[in-house]
């Protein structure tokens, strides 16, 4: 192992770290994707499987990623090089994660741009004009317009760059301390409103009373894949954020809190959305259009609907922003640590490049709809599949193999490379990261590759 750098300056406080890491975890995945996949997979039983995946697979891998970063004291690639040597093949795992974060940022920013557009629509009242068809038609109008998509995507990336350029304390931590409490406040407001609406009870039942007949093998795999995505695993985020942590921080405790908050947001957001949908007697399995097409119609019919719609899309925009920040930081940390660039230059470069790569993604909803990168998939869908179905699970698999099988002598290492608890918790973690996590993730990957179909 190379000697790690002198411990670098990092988070001002553990609380700041928790908010930033939770900010990464809580994103479009929680508020946009989780509700619609839960709707499609029939509720309760799917939620239960998802919770198990978070607890048994996601959490252990998060601990492993944070530990690798804190020990390596560098970006996602540099940390592996610091631990295993410059030429070690394990650095390729770091490469895969940085690539995943970069590509993810490019297409994530397109959907995040939609949330900006909807904030504007809600604020100016456009979202509340016309009949239901016209309101749900607004979404199609937006995605059909290339200039509008590119404009919002550019604005979103610019905002992200503006925050990351301020650094860990002055940018990411500072803004997470503003955006995350804002997000929680808005969410609780909406949630309370939802629970007191006529659909509140039905929504609770749908989420928490499991009906196992609705569970299919696809549900299991989707639950696992989403557990990875929602905890921001496999993209170097936790390695990078972990590299700014102090050696005494209790990684089990921190990871647990991040996963708990992430899960809480996903649950509250789903309960809220379902209560609105049930109140209106609409179908729950509306798919990806649930948030952008169905919800606005329902908001229109609710008392205070205008305010609620604005609050909801602000929430979505905040959540997307704190996640995008973490993706950009993965790339920026790499450029700073390995190329020696200054933060301002590295951030503008990373953001600019992700914007350029995101343009074909935006165009794949309109002008380039006919262009297929992977068979039958537009550029956006291909990037999404590459990252969400392959790169993130593969990154997680390699991290668990590394922590479980290769990096086994950590007790001889300095404090920053060790886990505080060497008792039962450590033994459970080691078992999960060594056996269960790799086996389960491998299963998902093989299934995605079509082995079982």
Q: If binding is defined by CB under 6 A, does position 326 make contact with ligand PFF?
A: yes
Phi, psi of 236 (to 5 degrees): 80, 0
Q: How many CB atoms lie within 10 A of CB 6?
A: 7
* Distance between CA atoms of residues 161 and 445, nearest Å: 33
Q: If binding is defined by CB under 6 A, does position 29 make contact with ligand PFF?
A: yes
What's the min distance (Å) between Cβ of 422 and ligand PFF? 29
What's the min distance (Å) between Cβ of 410 and ligand PFF? 24
Query: What's the sign of the alpha-carbon dihedral 181, 183, 186, 190?
Result: negative
CB 306 within 8 A of CB 128: yes
Give Cα separations from 127 to 147, 178, 311, 406 (angstroms): 20, 27, 13, 54
Q: What is the DSSP string of 426-451?
A: HHHHHHIIIIIHHHHHHHHHHHHTTT
Site for ligand PFF in 306-325 (CB under 6 A): 323
Nearer to ligand PFF, 238 or 310 (CB): 238
Q: If binding is defined by CB under 6 A, does position 138 make contact with ligand PFF?
A: no
Nearer to ligand PFF, 207 or 330 (CB): 330
What's the min distance (Å) between Cβ of 420 and ligand PFF? 25
3-state DSSP call for residue 26? coil
Which of 18, 19, 21, 28 binds ligand PFF (CB under 6 A)? It is 28
* Distance between CA atoms of residues 174 and 76, nearest Å: 23
What's the min distance (Å) between Cβ of 25 and ligand PFF? 5
Q: If binding is defined by CB under 6 A, does position 115 make contact with ligand PFF?
A: no
What's the min distance (Å) between Cβ of 294 and ligand PFF? 20
Q: If binding is defined by CB under 6 A, does position 54 make contact with ligand PFF?
A: no
3-state DSSP call for residue 45? helix
DSSP letter (8 states) at residue 155: H
Which of 11, 21, 23, 24 binds ligand PFF (CB under 6 A)? It is 24
CB 444 within 8 A of CB 222: no
Q: If binding is defined by CB under 6 A, does position 25 make contact with ligand PFF?
A: yes
What's the min distance (Å) between Cβ of 101 and ligand PFF? 5
Q: How many CB atoms lie within 10 A of CB 155?
A: 15
What's the min distance (Å) between Cβ of 100 and ligand PFF? 7
Tell me, by CB under 6 A, how many residues bind ligand PFF.
Answer: 16
Part of the chain binding ligand PFF (CB under 6 A), chosen from 1-9, 21-29, 119-127, 165-173: 21-29
For residue 101, which of 117, 124, 77 has the smallest C-alpha distance? 77
Q: If binding is defined by CB under 6 A, does position 30 make contact with ligand PFF?
A: yes
What's the min distance (Å) between Cβ of 388 and ligand PFF? 8
CB 30 within 8 A of CB 269: yes
Q: If binding is defined by CB under 6 A, does position 237 make contact with ligand PFF?
A: yes
Part of the chain binding ligand PFF (CB under 6 A), chosen from 51-59, 213-221, 229-237, 356-364: 229-237
Q: If binding is defined by CB under 6 A, does position 37 make contact with ligand PFF?
A: no
Nearer to ligand PFF, 77 or 237 (CB): 237
CB 95 within 8 A of CB 77: yes
Q: If binding is defined by CB under 6 A, does position 106 make contact with ligand PFF?
A: no
CB 228 within 8 A of CB 393: yes
CB 67 within 8 A of CB 242: yes
Part of the chain binding ligand PFF (CB under 6 A), chosen from 27-35, 69-77, 86-94, 148-156: 27-35
3-state DSSP call for residue 453? coil
Residues forming contacts to ligand PFF in the complex (CB under 6 A) are: 24-25, 27-30, 101, 104, 229-230, 232, 235, 237, 323, 326-327
């Amino acid at each position: 192992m190379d000697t790690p750098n002198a411990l670098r300056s990092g988070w001002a406080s553990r609380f700041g770290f928790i908010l930033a890491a939770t900010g990464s975890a809580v994103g479009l995945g929680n508020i946009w994707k989780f509700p619609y996949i839960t709707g499609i997979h029939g509720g309760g039983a799917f939620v239960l499987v998802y919770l198990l995946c978070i607890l048994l697979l996601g959490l252990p891998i998060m601990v492993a990623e944070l530990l690798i970063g804190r020990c390596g004291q560098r970006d996602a690639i540099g940390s592996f090089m610091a631990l295993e040597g410059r030429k070690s093949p394990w650095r390729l795992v770091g490469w895969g994660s940085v690539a995943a974060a970069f590509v993810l940022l490019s297409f994530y920013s397109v959907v995040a741009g939609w949330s900006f557009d909807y904030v504007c629509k809600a604020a100016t009242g456009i979202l509340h004009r016309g009949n239901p068809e016209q309101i749900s038609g607004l979404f199609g109008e937006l995605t059909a317009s290339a200039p509008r998509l590119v404009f919002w995507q550019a604005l979103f990336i610019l905002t992200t760059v503006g925050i990351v350029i301020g650094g860990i304390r002055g940018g990411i931590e500072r803004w997470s301390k503003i955006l995350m409490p804002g997000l929680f406040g808005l969410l609780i407001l909406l949630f309370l409103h939802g629970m007191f609406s006529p659909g509140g009870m039905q929504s609770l039942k749908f989420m928490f009373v499991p009906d196992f007949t609705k569970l299919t093998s696809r549900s299991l795999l989707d639950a696992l894949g989403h557990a990875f995505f929602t905890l921001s695993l496999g993209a170097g985020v936790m390695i990078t954020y972990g590299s700014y942590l102090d050696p005494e921080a209790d990684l089990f405790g921190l990871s647990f809190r991040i996963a708990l908050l992430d899960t809480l947001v996903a649950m509250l957001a789903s309960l809220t959305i379902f209560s609105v949908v049930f109140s209106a007697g609409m179908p729950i399995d509306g798919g990806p259009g649930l948030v952008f097409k169905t919800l606005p119609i329902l908001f229109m019919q609710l008392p205070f609907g205008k305010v609620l719609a604005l609050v909801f899309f602000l929430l979505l925009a905040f959540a997307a922003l704190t996640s995008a920040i973490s993706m950009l930081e993965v790339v920026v940390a790499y450029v700073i640590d390995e190329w020696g660039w200054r933060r301002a230059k590295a951030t503008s470069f990373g953001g600019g490049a992700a914007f350029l790569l995101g343009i074909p993604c935006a165009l794949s909803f309109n002008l380039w709809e006919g262009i297929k990168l992977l068979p039958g998939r537009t550029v956006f869908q291909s990037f999404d599949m590459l990252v969400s179905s392959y790169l993130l699970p593969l990154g997680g698999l390699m991290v668990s193999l590394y922590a479980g099988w290769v990096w086994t002598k950590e007790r001889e290492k300095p404090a920053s490379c060790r886990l505080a608890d060497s008792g039962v918790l450590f033994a459970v973690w080691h078992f999960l990261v060594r056996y269960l996590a790799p086996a389960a993730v491998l299963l998902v990957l093989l299934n995605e590759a079509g082995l079982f179909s």
